[in-house]
Amino acid sequence: MATNPVPDHVPPEMVRDFSLFTSPGMSPTPNGDPQAAVACVHAGPPIFYSPCNTRDGRGTWVITRASDQRRVLQDAETFSSHRSIFASALGENWPMIPLELDPPAHGVFRSLLNPLLSPKRVMALEPAVRERAIELIERIAASGTSCDVMKDFAFPFAVSIFLRFLGLPDDRLDTFVGWGKDLLHGDDVKRPAAARTIVAFIDELAAMRREDAVDDFMTFIVQAQVEGRRLTDTQVRGIGVLVFVAGLDTVAAAIGFDLAYLARNLKDQQLLRSEPERIVLAAEELLRVYPTVQLIRVATKDINFEGAPIRKGDYVSCATMIANRDPAEFECPNTIDLEREDNRHAAFGYGPHRCLGSHLARREIVIGLEEWLARIPAFRIKRGTAPITTGGHVFGIENLILDWS
């Protein structure tokens, strides 16, 4: 990737050769551990400038301390999330909602959507989530002693729960998974193509639900009123696209990283299998060490932040995987301790944009692990295979061939 000119206001001594896209371990790596690879930043200064730290090669400030990330992410007035990151792939400019809106507009839409994914609502979804997990795992258990967890369990599980939430049938599941992969991990041709396909799909679905109301998410959105008005087509699209993108990849990746860890650490695997009541706490520790998302904000004004001369328009990166290994907040941050208490990790972000789907995601991860461990005997990474991990804007794991023969 071409080196970008560092802006004049950035002191040269604050520039570091670090990037979530290009540093060692960020490109597809067999048996990689990209979250551990980025934890090396804690050996350096708490804030620095990375000349190439977005997908399109822009520079960002990198905030490494969890407490500083909280300050940035809790202060949406100074650090805006209005970036139109999805639309910009299409050469357009409209926000994903509520993620790319700032307060106060953000709060109005957030209030509309919060009840749909509240802890109470997620409890009601739980039986369907568990049923789906059991169905998939029993099929895997019946068909042999090895599988690709990503293809056979993690993706079909996470995506079908999310399709059910949207009110869509399972029969196009593979298509949706493909769109999501192209969008999040595809090249410069696949990405915009996938973005276009997803927008067309959401627009068409919204049009259908306007025509014929049913009891589902998209019908709720097209009928919803905000401040006495129906949502515009662009607002409906902004919500639909965000929910689609957010639900596709993240939970599947979390389950993949978690099972990869357990496949390599048989003692922990056995502990959780024999004492499944430990899984809820263990899942928090696995969220801490294997989060997948980098949050980027745009400075709305000049600010001197902990010694960094941030100027209006600068990008500020808060990578959850960096905050979660901050030694100031987590004792022995690179040690995975499934009994860790008081684990206030940042896997779902901080501030008003806290992951709207966090309660559902947590339940899916816990249920996925519970049902997997209850039905699959001691498993390892299949000999001769290697899970391939990736860094980037959203960290991922491409394959995970497990063996329990």
Partner 1 sequence: MRIIVQNSKCQGHARCAAQAPDIFKLDDEGYILPGDIEVAEGEELPASRGARSCPERALELDRTPAARVE
Options 70, 132, 325, 393; binder of partner 1; rule CB under 8 A: 70
Tokens 């969008």 correspond to 183
237 binds partner 1 (CB under 8 A): no
Options 12, 91, 115, 228; binder of partner 1; rule CB under 8 A: 115
Q: How far is the CB of 103 from partner 1 (least distance, A)?
A: 11
List 148's β-bridge partners, or say none: 401
Q: How far is the CB of 254 from partner 1 (least distance, A)?
A: 16
Sorted by sequence, the CB contacts under 8 Å of residue 158 that are 6+ apart come out as 247, 248, 250, 251, 252, 255, 364
Residue 159 has which token pair?
Answer: 């995506």
Backbone angles phi, psi at 335, to 5 degrees: -90, 130
345 binds partner 1 (CB under 8 A): yes
Among residues 100 and 314, whose Cβ is nearest to partner 1?
100
**First vs last Cα of the chain: how many Å apart?**
44
Q: Which conformational region is residue 349 in: left (phi greater than 0), alpha (psi within -120 to 50 degrees), or beta?
A: left
Nearest 5°: the CA angle 256, 257, 260 is 85
Which ranges of 186-341 does DSSP label H, i.e. alpha helix?
190-211, 217-223, 233-264, 266-274, 279-289, 320-323
79 binds partner 1 (CB under 8 A): no
Among residues 196 and 354, whose Cβ is nearest to partner 1?
354
CA distance 291 to 18: 19
Options 111, 143, 175, 223; binder of partner 1; rule CB under 8 A: 111
325 binds partner 1 (CB under 8 A): no
Options 350, 372, 379, 395; binder of partner 1; rule CB under 8 A: 350
146 binds partner 1 (CB under 8 A): no
Options 45, 309, 327, 352; binder of partner 1; rule CB under 8 A: 352
Q: If binding means CB under 8 A, how many residues of this protein chain bind partner 1?
A: 20
Pick the piece of the chain touching partner 1 (CB under 8 A) from 4-12, 17-25, 174-182, 352-360: 352-360
Pick the piece of the chain touching partner 1 (CB under 8 A) from 148-156, 249-257, 264-272, 343-351: 343-351
Tokens 């915009």 correspond to 192
Binding site for partner 1 (CB under 8 A): 70, 74, 111, 114-115, 117-120, 342, 344-346, 348, 350-352, 354, 358-359
